[in-house]
Structure 1
Amino acid sequence: MLTPQEARTQLQDAGRYMMAHGLAWGNAGNISARTGEDRYMITASGTFLGELEDGDLVECDFRGGRLRPEDKKPSKELPMHRAVYELRPEVNAVLHASPFYATMVACSDLELKSDWFVETMYYLERVERVPYRHPGSEALGDAVAAHARKANILLLEHHGVLVYDTSVREARMALQTLEMACRMLVTAGAAGVKLRSLEPPIVEDFLHNAGYKPRRKWES
């Protein structure tokens, strides 16, 4: 868990990284980090992730309110960030963005598999689709809540993606892995290349024994 200043610094770094690597564009997207059991730091409404200043990050509690009334208005996507933090106490960072290839997959019926290579097996072990709900709505927060315990990667249909993990760094790496895998999926399809999956016993052996981290536990 981060202090408010640590959260600001790491989110500013993440925003610059996302912009520099094509994981975000314009003022689309919002990112947050947990700063307490019932609070988190989130980008303000309409901010540009590549140039976040301290005042562009607003600390909120689970009731949805700013801790300091004089701060800027937080992102309207509070409901889905809050849903993840409430349901996943081990999660310390949530990234919402609309990277090109991942958003293309979220707007299609393409199936994204996680059994292609090492990083997809680990970071994309479970990917869930969330039906479209209007951005910023409580309905979207409820839809995210219904899937939050099932995966760390959510494809928000006709919207973008939501990625969360135990740290800003891990969430950022998962987001980049997701975009790379979606780019492979789309590019391979256009080129007529069939991507081969690893056999399920090999995937299970990797997840249990590779030693990256303890195996995650998911709701079915």
Structure 2
Amino acid sequence: MVYDKKLELKRNLQDTGKYMMQYELAWGNSGNISAKTEENSFLITASGTYLGDLDLEDFAECSLDIGGSIIGERKPSKEVPMHRAIYETRPEIGAVLHASPLYSTMMAATNIDIPSDWFIESMYYLERVERVPYAHPGSIDLGELVREKAHKANILLLENHGVLVYDTSLKEAKMALQTLEMACKMLIISRNAGIDLQELPEDVVKSFLNEAGYKPRRRWEN
């Protein structure tokens, strides 16, 4: 039996869509997800698809070559400019998730910083979070704003829109998205309850990131 990389990617994207719906990281037909192929292209959910019930035919393939042609007949999500900007500027990235989870999207509509030093997972997955100014969904302007921040973080808060999470694999991206939503939920609930959550000291955070051994620390631009 011939191994089909793209078929496996589609199945993994199907599972990711179900996961996002199951854990309330997406809702309705909002959100779009993609994964890079072994070729110079990426698979992305087609326009109007529902993440919780994706068929193998619910994906479009977009080339990363100059001109960025669409491969096949399915119309891709209008958010292609954002996904393309990530893959073009971060060659190590294997998956991009765009969604509008309740608590994370609430935080994206504020100017409040999201602490990354509350617990182990937040230190690991929320090491760098950046904000992207509002631009209309699907616009070239939004894609270029994302491109400007792509090297600075692996989580972007899209102001008054949602979030964009990208990492080396769908598994890592899923964990980052869920950790972001949990941290935002903790922040909102604690503020409402008047509870001050303690942050870990900076030296402890640096020690964890540099010495924990989960995987090599990412290199960020300032």
Partner of 1:209: 211
Equivalent residues of 1:34, 1:93 under 8 A apart: yes
Equivalent residues of 1:24, 1:97 under 8 A apart: yes
Partner of 2:148: 146
Deviation per CA, 1:165-202, whole angstroms, max 9, x where unpaired?
00001000100000000000000000001111111111
Where do 1:48-67 residues align within 5 Å? 48-62=50-64, 63-67=67-71
Where do 1:5-154 residues align within 5 Å? 5-62=7-64, 63-68=67-72, 71-154=73-156
- Does residue 187 of the first structure (1) align with residue 153 of the second (2)? no
**Which residue of the other structure, out of 169, 172, 175, is the alignment partner of 1:170?**
172
| CA–CA distance in structure 1, aligned partners of residues 5 and 76 of structure 2 | 18
The unaligned stretches of length 5 or more in structure 2 are none
Deviation per CA, 1:95-121, whole angstroms, max 9, x where unpaired?
000000000000112210101110000
| CA–CA distance in structure 2, aligned partners of residues 170 and 37 of structure 1 | 21
The residue identity in structure 1 corresponding to 2:52 is: G
| Per-residue deviation, 1:37 | 5.0
Deviation per CA, 1:105-152, whole angstroms, max 9, x where unpaired?
001122101011100000000000000000000000000000000000
Percent identical residues: 60
SS of 1:40's equivalent in the other structure is strand
Equivalent residues of 1:28, 1:97 under 8 A apart: yes
Displaced runs of 4 or more, over 6 A: none
Matched residues, number: 217
Equivalent residues of 1:97, 1:161 under 8 A apart: yes
The residue identity in structure 2 corresponding to 1:18 is: M
| CA–CA distance in structure 2, aligned partners of residues 152 and 175 of structure 1 | 10
| CA–CA distance in structure 1, aligned partners of residues 190 and 203 of structure 2 | 25
Deviates more, 1:3-12 or 1:59-68: 59-68
| CA–CA distance in structure 1, aligned partners of residues 63 and 191 of structure 2 | 44
SS of 1:6's equivalent in the other structure is helix
Equivalent residues of 1:64, 1:78 under 8 A apart: no
Note closer, same or farther for the CA distance 1:209–1:58 as it changes in structure 2 (3 Å cut).
same
| Per-residue deviation, 1:64 | 3.1
The unaligned stretches of length 5 or more in structure 1 are none
| Per-residue deviation, 1:38 | 2.4
SS of 2:152's equivalent in the other structure is coil
Deviates more, 1:122-131 or 1:194-203: 194-203
SS of 2:62's equivalent in the other structure is strand
